[in-house]
Structure 1
Amino acid sequence: MKKLIKGLLWVLGGLLLVLAVVVLIVGLIPVPKDEAFDPAEYGAGSSTIQPSYTGLQREFPAINGEVTPEKAELGKILFFDPVLSAQNDISCAHCHHPDYGFADGLPVALGEGAQGAGPQRSGGTALARNTISLWNVGYTQIFFWDGHATSLEEQAVTPLTHPDEMAADPEALATELAALPGYVDLFKAAFGDDHITPSRINEALAVFERTLTSNDSPFDHYATGEVDALTASQRRGLNLFRSAATRCFECHAAPTFSTDSLRVIGVPDGEASTQPFKVPSLRNVVLSAPYMHNGSLATLEEVVEFYANAGGTAHGIEGVDPFVLGFKMTDQEKADLVAFLYALTDESAMPETPSAVPSGLPVVEHQTNPARDLVTAFNPGTAIVNAPPREPQTFTVQPGERIQAVVDQAQAGDTILLAFGTYHERVVIDLNDITLLGIANEAGDWPTMDGEGVLPEAVVSSGNHFEVGNLRVVNYTSTGILVEGATGVHMHHMYAENTGIYGLYPVRSTDVLIEDSLVIGTRDAGIYAGQSEKVVIRNNEVYGNVLGIEAENTVDTEIYGNHAHDNTMGILVVLLPNLTSKVNLYTKVYDNLIENNNIANFADAGTAAAIAPPGSGIALIGVDYAEVYNNTIRGNKTAGVGVFDLAIAFERDRINVPTRPEFNRIYDNTFANNGYEADAFVAELGIPGADILWDVSGVGNQFNEAEATTFPPALPSGKWPGIFYTAYWQILNFLMGML
């Protein structure tokens, strides 16, 4: 018997030794980590430059390469010379005609064998895509509709060498140019010697294209404070452009009115209908009709109608970008939006077309673009001098008076007070250093801005150092208070109810403080801070919303002292794809009361908010280095705290940001009665409700909550040795993969 027991002990010891070796080996396998972004590439916060007269004056990004006058001159001559094509019959300017916004005015480009230039071009090989304008390509990082080139030099290669386009042999072209004395001199001036190579040809073309800058439009003058640089219709159109209803600004952000991203908008085009395409700049867009990757929309009016109808969704196309949701507009509003697009026109940097080129071949001729006459009709063309500076003043608006009329005569530093009463108005504030405050009556009631279920926002501001408070905003269709691209935002003592998508909404802003406010009944987030940095959200109450508080793609956010109850989800900290900001870092959520967030989700279909499962207290999705501590979290039927990979909500092939939640810490919270009836979204994944849910994604996450119910049943804490954490992570992910 002793021998048998001894033998069993040896076997058991051997098994434990084998298990220990397996754990050791597994623990040495690195946990996958997301690639970290350089802080300069975060993309969060305000892009406003200081000092400026209005918050709309933004700093352009750096030019994407070197520019010298000599190389630009050489590149210009090459651009207009048909010698670059194999048959000496096509120049770059044939398809990128200067009179048509450096596009061609055709639905799709015509290549080899075609005759003529610009919209007069005909015959030959029809290419697959519409010709993209070259204005402001110097600010771009991706090129072609599918974004496959990452520099102008790389971009130049395709049209020069593609057999359906210019069909040149690079070495033969270099030899041909070297036989022309004019080019020998130009290359020597540009590069210091007369050696002509394909790479130098590409470089010279790229340098010339970088000089095609458009930054002195009526909008740019308006951004510097010339209020009358835009017509009343164009100002209304600008407000629509940056509203939370249309969301145009999400993809076409100032100052370039573009983003280096690819989006699926669903333009009907067979298999290409679901393909993501580059977001083009809207600078000089009125000169380059027709529109979209296949040129299928002839006018800007048709483009607006397409987006108003939710893009490709109206044509049964799936996977359309979540920002293309559709919106309602009157005919006047559509006209105003188009009028604003005309205000983005500026050809002041138009290069002079050479009268002759060294090859002696004919250069494209000037053409009449009818759109230029419309530009003249739409744009006032007057330069207004700013009012002389004065000491800051305080204005008081009385019921029956228009708030906007007072705002329009204000200057930076002024305070605008609203006497107690009700105002049916939408107010736009583009000045810096403006304070907008309500005056309470004797009973302590604040004045009310009431959109009557018709107006989109109560207040839209882009001014730096903007303060708004002591106001009720109710019955707006899109947003209560929207602040975009500002530095220094203070919202306080606000009551927002039934304001559409959002209540209080700072986006792409820096140094944001939202406090002492109550938000009720929004169909997305009651308090939303998006793509912003240095944000504080404190001492607010939010209920009856889909999301009580949301910190989306933010950096350095603190959320504390808030009461989030009876929403679908109490607090969401999330990293979403396809936005300017590519990170969500360093969020702290503490000292909040998060309870009974169990109401049905009533978000608009197709939005990210529509995914939120009812019964969620706090969710961290795809975020890094967040801390959740000292909160009281109770009565949330699905989970108290959830930590998830972004892929739980989005298909991986549509995600352009790191997806894993990493190095997050959950500790010292008080939990009670969470996870008692998990929503189907979670239950169907085989995950039971609990105080804490983790999908076992991401490295470095710690859960120091000994008394909490959890899934998985054991969660790594700060006391776990690193090798044990890694082994546990690897084993759980293996098992979940098997399931």
Structure 2
Amino acid sequence: MTRTLFAAALLLSASPLAAKTLQVTPGDDPYDALQTALIEAEPGDVVHIAAGTYALTDGLSLDVDDVTVRGDGPAATILSFKGQTGAGEGLLITSDGVLVADFAVEDTRGDGIKTKGVDRFTADNVRVEWTNGPDAQNGAYGLYPVESTNILVQNSEVIACSDAGIYVGQSDNIVVRNNRVSYNVAGIEIENSTRADVYDNVAFHNTGGILVFDLPNLPKGDGHSTRLFRNVVVNNDTDNFAPEGNIVAEVPRGLGIMVMANRNVHIFDNVLDGNDSGQIMIVAYARPYEDTDYNPLPREVVVRDNVYGEGGGAPAFPGGAELAAALGGAIPPILWDGAAAYRRGGETLEVPVRMHFDAPAVTLNVATAGDDRLGGMPSMVTDAHAEIEEPAPVVLPANQPGLSDEKALAPASD
């Protein structure tokens, strides 16, 4: 053997096996076929789920890196969990570099698709739906990345979650774009997360359209640096059907966008219309908590250049009707509780909250987070014009699954 041929042979022998496609078709035991393919897949492989309806009685899981799970379209490839016996997810992913695309998940007892502790997850053209419509017994979350980094959720649809349709929690570096969310309690929720771009989504007929929260007593806190832009948030008019005790059970029917206890949130170039409780609400976290590092105040919130239609004329929160009547029949586009202090131990701490609003706004003049929000004297805001630097656009890594290099950058604002 010549030296050249010998070197080539060594190279081939050291190379990994070529990526392959594992085909799954409808059959007598769809759970076994799907779960076996997810177990046997190797990095670089594609699990292709052919068109058909797959009746599944248990949740699926994937823990192999760099795998694509792809169907033939969300109207053609349907994973139905209507007969699921356990309370877990439809699909739980605990590996990096996974792309799920082009299929539907229906009627899970728990969450639809959940990732935990992963890097570089993409959901593209996926539908998650509870086909019975809004119901407190439905799963909490549809697309649910948590404790993860480099998240892309795009071109997808979620319908009838009992908590949030698209929920990204305790995560970093996030893009949520070009999705449709409807008939959920919350359409989209970014919670205890950092660096998120949420844009070009349509949120309609939810209880609340888009929420940005920071909650206490979680492993990751101090959520910040979120941009909400070019979203259409309209006609969010579904009665709240969250199970009692959930934090989203407090979201009033008819809310467009809500920011609670988060910082450096920029809301711009959105269209808001038909949200009867109000277009944009900015409030402190008001429940008791024991987290000594937690700041319950919203701060550094920018609201600019949005288009507002009708809204705020029939608020569903306590005292809302009276407040709207006192303000001439409707709540202005922006409602802020005005809290600029919070209690920690025996102290009351005041912090500069810094706001920038370019539209009519009312403050409830709450002195301290946790006080009765309707106990003060509401007044129009006249001095919320702080200069607050906008977060840089989110940049996803070039090897984000399903994302070409030229699309790695989220757009900057105009």
Query: Which interval holds the TM-score relative to the shorter structure?
Result: 0.7 to 0.9
Structure 1 counterpart of 2:171: 532
Alignment-mate amino acid for residue 43 of structure 2: A
Contact 1:578 1:656 in 2 (8 A): no
* Other structure's SS at 1:613 match: coil
Structure 2 counterpart of 1:414: 45
Contact 2:39 2:64 in 1 (8 A): no
Q: In 2, distance between residues paired with 1:655 and 1:695?
A: 23
Q: Which of 134, 144, 165 does residue 505 from structure 1 map onto?
A: 144
Q: CA offset at residue 690 of structure 1?
A: 2.8
Q: CA offset at residue 453 of structure 1?
A: 4.8
Contact 2:277 2:317 in 1 (8 A): no
Q: Which of 416, 423, 441 does residue 54 from structure 2 map onto?
A: 423
Q: Which of 315, 318, 329 does residue 681 from structure 1 map onto?
A: 318
Structure 1 counterpart of 2:121: 489
Q: CA offset at residue 684 of structure 1?
A: 8.4
Alignment-mate amino acid for residue 445 of structure 1: A
Q: CA offset at residue 420 of structure 1?
A: 0.3
Q: Which of 518, 521, 538 does residue 157 from structure 2 map onto?
A: 518
More off after superposition, 478-487 vs 494-503: 494-503
The 1:433/1:421 distance shift into structure 2, 3 A limit, reads: same
Of Structure 1 and Structure 2, the greater strand share is in 2
The 1:592/1:421 distance shift into structure 2, 3 A limit, reads: same
Q: Does 1:611 align with 2:213?
A: no
Structure 2 counterpart of 1:438: 71
Of Structure 1 and Structure 2, the greater helix share is in 1
Q: In 2, distance between residues paired with 1:558 and 1:674?
A: 25
Count, aligned residues? 327
Q: In 2, distance between residues paired with 1:522 and 1:618?
A: 17
Alignment-mate amino acid for residue 424 of structure 1: A
Structure 2 counterpart of 1:403: 34
Contact 2:55 2:83 in 1 (8 A): no
Identity of aligned residues (%): 30
Matches within 5 A, 1:224-239: none
Q: Does 1:467 align with 2:93?
A: no
Q: In 2, distance between residues paired with 1:669 and 1:566?
A: 20
Alignment-mate amino acid for residue 18 of structure 2: E
Q: Does 1:552 align with 2:191?
A: yes
Q: In 1, distance between residues paired with 2:293 and 2:384?
A: 30
Q: In 2, distance between residues paired with 1:550 and 1:587?
A: 11
Q: In 1, distance between residues paired with 2:44 and 2:171?
A: 24
Q: In 2, distance between residues paired with 1:484 and 1:606?
A: 24
Contact 1:613 1:682 in 2 (8 A): no
Q: In 1, distance between residues paired with 2:16 and 2:72?
A: 27
Cα displacement string for residues 369-411 of structure 1 (whole angstroms, at most 9, x for unaligned residues)? xxxxxxxxxxxxxxxxxxx952321111111141101112111
Matches within 5 A, 1:155-554: 390-400=17-27, 401=30, 402-425=33-56, 426-440=59-73, 445-455=75-85, 456-498=88-130, 500-554=139-193
Q: In 2, distance between residues paired with 1:683 and 1:553?
A: 28
Q: In 1, distance between residues paired with 2:322 and 2:173?
A: 36
Contact 2:90 2:110 in 1 (8 A): no
Contact 1:398 1:419 in 2 (8 A): yes
Structure 2 counterpart of 1:691: 333
Q: In 1, distance between residues paired with 2:174 and 2:92?
A: 19
Q: CA offset at residue 652 of structure 1?
A: 4.6
Contact 2:213 2:223 in 1 (8 A): yes
Instruction: Compute the TM-score of the two structures, normalised by the length of structure 1.
Output: 0.43
* Other structure's SS at 2:90 match: strand
Q: In 2, distance between residues paired with 1:567 and 1:656?
A: 32
Q: CA offset at residue 418 of structure 1?
A: 0.4
Structure 1: segments with no counterpart, 5+ residues: 1-387, 721-739
Larger radius of gyration: 1
Structure 1 counterpart of 2:261: 622
Q: In 2, distance between residues paired with 1:575 and 1:566?
A: 24
Contact 1:614 1:638 in 2 (8 A): yes
Q: In 2, distance between residues paired with 1:710 and 1:652?
A: 27
Q: In 1, distance between residues paired with 2:112 and 2:75?
A: 18
The 1:682/1:539 distance shift into structure 2, 3 A limit, reads: farther
* Other structure's SS at 1:417 match: strand
Over the aligned positions, Cα root-mean-square deviation in angstroms equals 2.1
Alignment-mate amino acid for residue 24 of structure 2: V
Instruction: Compute the TM-score of the two structures, normalised by the length of structure 2.
Output: 0.75
Q: In 2, distance between residues paired with 1:719 and 1:501?
A: 37
The 1:685/1:391 distance shift into structure 2, 3 A limit, reads: farther
Q: In 1, distance between residues paired with 2:292 and 2:236?
A: 28
Contact 2:301 2:354 in 1 (8 A): yes
Structure 1 counterpart of 2:239: 600
Alignment-mate amino acid for residue 701 of structure 1: R
* Other structure's SS at 1:519 match: strand
Q: CA offset at residue 477 of structure 1?
A: 1.0
Q: CA offset at residue 596 of structure 1?
A: 1.1
Q: In 2, distance between residues paired with 1:406 and 1:637?
A: 48
Q: In 2, distance between residues paired with 1:428 and 1:653?
A: 35
Q: CA offset at residue 654 of structure 1?
A: 6.3
Q: CA offset at residue 686 of structure 1?
A: 5.5
Cα displacement string for residues 603-638 of structure 1 (whole angstroms, at most 9, x for unaligned residues)? 011111111111110000000011000001111111
Cα displacement string for residues 499-547 of structure 1 (whole angstroms, at most 9, x for unaligned residues)? 6111100001100000001111010000000001100000101010000
Contact 2:180 2:201 in 1 (8 A): yes
The 1:585/1:668 distance shift into structure 2, 3 A limit, reads: same
Q: In 2, distance between residues paired with 1:710 and 1:469?
A: 43
Alignment-mate amino acid for residue 702 of structure 1: M
Alignment-mate amino acid for residue 128 of structure 2: A
Contact 1:668 1:704 in 2 (8 A): no
The 1:564/1:704 distance shift into structure 2, 3 A limit, reads: same
Q: In 2, distance between residues paired with 1:404 and 1:682?
A: 52
Contact 1:702 1:715 in 2 (8 A): no
The 1:493/1:715 distance shift into structure 2, 3 A limit, reads: farther
Cα displacement string for residues 545-581 of structure 1 (whole angstroms, at most 9, x for unaligned residues)? 0000000000000100000011000000000111111
Q: In 2, distance between residues paired with 1:685 and 1:529?
A: 35
Structure 2 counterpart of 1:651: 288
Structure 1 counterpart of 2:348: none
Structure 1 counterpart of 2:405: none
Q: Does 1:713 align with 2:355?
A: no
Q: CA offset at residue 424 of structure 1?
A: 2.4
* Other structure's SS at 1:408 match: helix
Q: In 1, distance between residues paired with 2:307 and 2:65?
A: 43
Cα displacement string for residues 305-350 of structure 1 (whole angstroms, at most 9, x for unaligned residues)? xxxxxxxxxxxxxxxxxxxxxxxxxxxxxxxxxxxxxxxxxxxxxx
- Structure with higher RCO (Cα < 8 A, 6+ apart): 1
* Other structure's SS at 2:76 match: coil
Q: In 2, distance between residues paired with 1:684 and 1:654?
A: 34
Q: In 1, distance between residues paired with 2:104 and 2:334?
A: 37
Contact 2:314 2:321 in 1 (8 A): no
Q: In 2, distance between residues paired with 1:682 and 1:515?
A: 38
Q: In 1, distance between residues paired with 2:386 and 2:224?
A: 24
Q: In 2, distance between residues paired with 1:434 and 1:682?
A: 51
Q: CA offset at residue 656 of structure 1?
A: 4.9
Q: CA offset at residue 658 of structure 1?
A: 1.0
